[in-house]
Chains A and B, each alone.
Chain A
Amino acid sequence: MNGEPSPETVILYRVVLTYPPTIDDMRSDAELGITLRRDDSESRHLASGISLFDSPERARKQARRKPWMGNAFIAELVIPAHRFQFEKTAGPGHRCRCYAGLCTARGARLDYRGGARHGVRALGYGDNQSGRGL
């Protein structure tokens, strides 16, 4: 993951709780077996994706304001766009979701090493108590 993304890649950011991020940080609630609170098509759809942000600043802003995130990290995902479905969620926070279960399925093939063309890397770290890092 060096330099600018190629035209067929998308760079998005995810708040994760482990460093370095692992494939388990990229799983949807559906894949993790999280029980739905409402069993309808919208809820199932939401649960099939993972939450991402369009900039590290957005991700950082979210993480810093939420004490329950504790020591959080930001992972940068360089994603092959044609393999994933992206959808912006409501709100000003520029969240989006990566859908279709492909994040995990394809994520297993993502290379976590820094030089990979597609992959995941940790951008920073910190904790909400001290305000360091994130």
Chain B
Amino acid sequence: MVYALWDMETINLAADYDILRDALALVLEGIERNGPHDTDTLALDVEDDEGNVTPIAHGQALAEFGKRERQPSSIAG
């Protein structure tokens, strides 16, 4: 499984991680560094070993998801 962060405007991969927690850490870091609109152009999806893609969240929903999952005990990946 790979958690991939994509820029939705440039269609470039911003980062990818094996662990969801690491991906969300970057999301939160971006908000802290660039402001609350940093996720406006950011999308998170997960790709399985067969290359199948499942969207997780994007835009403000991604920011909310990151904040919600900030507590380590609530993150499975």
Chain A residues within 8 Å of B, Cβ to Cβ: 14-17, 25, 27-29, 32, 34-39, 43, 46-47, 49-51, 58, 61-62, 65-69, 72, 89-95, 97
Known: A34-B10, A46-B15. A93 touches B53 (CB 8 A): yes
B26–A37 contact, CB under 8 A? yes
**B55 cross-chain contacts in A, Cβ below 8 A:** 65-68
B34–A91 contact, CB under 8 A? no
- Number of residues from B at the complex interface, CB < 8 A: 33
Compute the total of residue contacts between A and B using a CB distance below 8 Å. Answer: 94
CA distance A90 to B51 in the complex (A): 11
Pick the contact of B14: A15, A27, A46, A66 (CB < 8 A): A46
CA distance A16 to B9 in the complex (A): 9
B13–A46 contact, CB under 8 A? yes
A86 to chain B, nearest CB (A): 14
Known: A66-B43, A67-B55, A90-B2. A37 touches B10 (CB 8 A): no
Known: A15-B11, A37-B33. A92 touches B47 (CB 8 A): yes
Chain B residues within 8 Å of A, Cβ to Cβ: 2, 4, 6-8, 10-16, 18, 26-27, 29-30, 33-34, 38, 43, 45, 47-55, 58-59
CA distance A121 to B51 in the complex (A): 25
Known: A15-B11, A37-B38, A38-B29. A91 touches B54 (CB 8 A): no
A74 to chain B, nearest CB (A): 11
A122 to chain B, nearest CB (A): 14
B11–A35 contact, CB under 8 A? no
A89–B16 contact, CB under 8 A? yes
Nearest B residue (CB) for A65? B53
A93–B51 contact, CB under 8 A? yes
A15 to chain B, nearest CB (A): 5
Nearest B residue (CB) for A14? B11
